[in-house]
Structure 1
Amino acid sequence: MIELDGALGGGQVLRSGLSLAMVTGQGLHIRNIRAKRSRPGLMRQHLTAVLAAAQVCGAKVEGAELGSLTLRFEPGAIQGGEYRFSIGTAGSCTLVLQTLLPALLRAPTASRVTICGGTHNPLAPPVDFLQRAWLPLLRRMGARIELSLNRYGFAPAGGGELEAFIQPSELAPLHLMQRGKLLESRAIALNAGLPAEVSERELKRVGQRLGFDDAQLLSVAIDPEQGPGNLLMLEYVHEHVTEVFSAFGMHRLRAEKVADQAIEQAQEWRCTQTAVGEHLADQLLLPMAMAGGGSFTTPHMSDHLHSNMQVIQRFLPVTIDSHVLEEGGLKIECRAL
């Protein structure tokens, strides 16, 4: 039984713990779940992840209830098949999916997973990030995964739906030291049921600050029934990696400030020569550990990356090291013991 202190980080400690418990067959006991958050304990999306993980591997679970600060999770055998999960709020579908994917890659048969809830909400990767940035790298490692968006779901309404098809796959190490030549870049403003002026102002700000021309500024109108919601994404396609940085429109937040949030994320990455940004770095680590090795460069050590390193090394026979680069940034290296 692996003991984890949830105060080490937020919901990610729980999600990584569940993924690794399923993959390794080791039991998990976690306490102080999301202890440092304003609303500690299991929220709806975390509870959905727990119950979904339990269904995928026939786990015995204690503490699976809203607000619970402790959880005991004893996994059984992973099973592929048809799964459908509903969060019931705008909680993140993508985070629930990322919890299940490592296990389903090791299932004896293929799986189709449908998740209903929020597909585009703050503090979680939007579906577009998974499709354009994360999954292409997993496929390069050998993962056979297809992901489609059936319906948008913005916070606070939710109501979105994504669908993933996962085939059993063996992962191979990936070494991502450089991003390579820039091939194309664009800004994409999604708008569901809000005035067109919102997207126009966001894109205008991007053009002013980043020098993007009209062909690089794309406005996408979504059926208002799938909103209301707004998201600005900056996409950079390089030879070896595609990065996506995003910011969400929110009540009383000016469109220009939304654009600035996405721009500042992108600039932090682009002012270095590192391969992947903060969020992609964190989400590559567990698949690399499952593959028995891998490495990448990233601008800095985020809290999520640091806590994920600690959780992974509790479950898997790997060592994960970080080294400061002379030219700026960090090299993260995962090696089998």
Structure 2
Amino acid sequence: MLTIDGSKGEGGGQVLRTALALALVTRTPLRMVNIRAGREKPGLLRQHLTAVKAAEAVGAAEVSGAELGSRELTFEPRALAAGNYHFAVGSAGSATLVLQTVLPALLLAEGPSSLRLEGGTHNPAAPPFDFLAKAFLPLVQRMGPRVEATLERPGFFPAGGGRFRVDVHPAKLQPLDLPERGRVVRRAAVATVSGIPYDVARRELDTVGDILKLRPDELHPDELKRGIGPGNVLRVEVECEHVTEVFTAFGSRGRAAEHVAEEVAREAKQYLDAEVPVGEHLCDQLLLLLALARGGSFRTLPLDGHARTQIDTMAHFLDVKVSTREVSRGVHEVEVRG
């Protein structure tokens, strides 16, 4: 049985999710210790426990240690099963991170799957639904499988209550090379508010528009009348010829709308100035796909702790080589070969 120390690398939930995903794909019995040891509240929180339960269902696995607060877990997958699944976090914990745990295996399953996921859809420190739908899943489809995601109801932190559906039509993953992003064909900033003053959205858009020099027709306020809130998310979408990137910042009580806008504008500007196809958050998710396809490459910004952790965790399960090199100041090329 493979043992992985969850305190290594970024020391959070990513090690757990990636290990569970690859244990499913490779049918590897897994023991994880020191789960989320690097976090203020170590052990399994509700969203992590839901991810474990989801992996248990998809892999017909035998599991021990699957309880709130647990810092140790054993996971023994027996068979990978496509099917119809419903996973509910039961809090504002991220449902998109639950999807990340089981999606790699379902992309390689023998038949199609349909998932209904409930919980947070727009959370700080997790990929929001818009990022999955506009940035990540289009790249999955370019590699072979067909994945369709539909947001049925947004759910913001701390209320949760969101819901979305994902339909997965598996296929053999093909290598993907992204050496450049191509011409920028569309930019847009979308400020979504639910249960808070509409003026917050306008102030965010005014600020982000000034910093990024966006035209008025590229600024879009979005006031939800039936969203599960209160909540506020500001996103900047950069659609290029070969890839789309999505950058997100979240409003919170006591935080000025202008500060939210400055945060997302700073991240988007760094990406635009570097002229790379893959941003920081897309990098570690794309790494796993290329490793499963046993080939591919892309250019990105300097790798952060999440990407390094992803590389280290993948090495426990997959015989692939990941090489990185700086090709110019602030631009790194990542290559995966099996």
Which TM-score band (shorter chain)?
Answer: over 0.9
Secondary structure of the structure 2 residue equivalent to 1:315:
coil
Quick check: 2:82–2:111 contact (8 Å CA) kept in 1?
A: yes
Amino acid at match of 2:38: K
How far is the alpha carbon of 1:279 from its aligned partner? 0.3
Amino acid at match of 2:236: L
Q: 2:137 aligns with which of 125, 135, 138?
A: 135
* Partners of 2:228 and 2:45 in 1: CA distance: 23
Q: How does 1:60-209 map to 2 (within 5 A)?
A: 60-209=62-211
* Partners of 2:166 and 2:299 in 1: CA distance: 29
How far is the alpha carbon of 1:5 from its aligned partner? 1.0
Amino acid at match of 2:190: I
Quick check: 2:154–2:227 contact (8 Å CA) kept in 1?
A: no
Quick check: 1:313–1:320 contact (8 Å CA) kept in 2?
A: no
Secondary structure of the structure 2 residue equivalent to 1:227:
coil
Quick check: 2:193–2:231 contact (8 Å CA) kept in 1?
A: yes
Quick check: 1:119–1:152 contact (8 Å CA) kept in 2?
A: yes
The count of residues paired between Structure 1 and Structure 2 equals 336
Quick check: 1:6–1:35 contact (8 Å CA) kept in 2?
A: yes
Secondary structure of the structure 1 residue equivalent to 2:328:
coil
How far is the alpha carbon of 1:326 from its aligned partner? 2.6
Counterpart in the other structure of 2:261: 259
Quick check: 2:155–2:227 contact (8 Å CA) kept in 1?
A: no
Residues 26-64 of structure 1: per-residue CA shift (max 9 Å, x gap)? 111111111010001100000000011001111011111
How far is the alpha carbon of 1:206 from its aligned partner? 1.1
Quick check: 1:78–1:106 contact (8 Å CA) kept in 2?
A: no
Secondary structure of the structure 2 residue equivalent to 1:314:
coil
Counterpart in the other structure of 1:4: 4
Q: CA RMSD in A?
A: 0.9
Quick check: 2:212–2:269 contact (8 Å CA) kept in 1?
A: no
Quick check: 2:153–2:227 contact (8 Å CA) kept in 1?
A: no
How far is the alpha carbon of 1:225 from its aligned partner? 4.8
Residues 145-173 of structure 1: per-residue CA shift (max 9 Å, x gap)? 11100101000000000110111211100
Secondary structure of the structure 2 residue equivalent to 1:35:
coil
Secondary structure of the structure 2 residue equivalent to 1:100:
helix
How far is the alpha carbon of 1:91 from its aligned partner? 0.6
How far is the alpha carbon of 1:209 from its aligned partner? 1.0
Quick check: 2:92–2:160 contact (8 Å CA) kept in 1?
A: yes
Quick check: 1:88–1:117 contact (8 Å CA) kept in 2?
A: yes
Q: 1:49 aligns with which of 51, 72, 91?
A: 51
- Normalising by structure 1, we get a TM-score of 0.98
Identity across aligned pairs (percent)?
A: 48
Name segments (4+ residues, structure 1) moved above 3 Å.
Answer: none
* Partners of 1:191 and 1:224 in 2: CA distance: 11
Secondary structure of the structure 1 residue equivalent to 2:274:
coil
Stretches of structure 1 lacking an aligned partner (at least 5 in a row): none
How far is the alpha carbon of 1:182 from its aligned partner? 0.6
Secondary structure of the structure 2 residue equivalent to 1:185:
strand
- Normalising by structure 2, we get a TM-score of 0.98
Counterpart in the other structure of 2:248: 246
Q: How does 1:297-312 map to 2 (within 5 A)?
A: 297-312=299-314
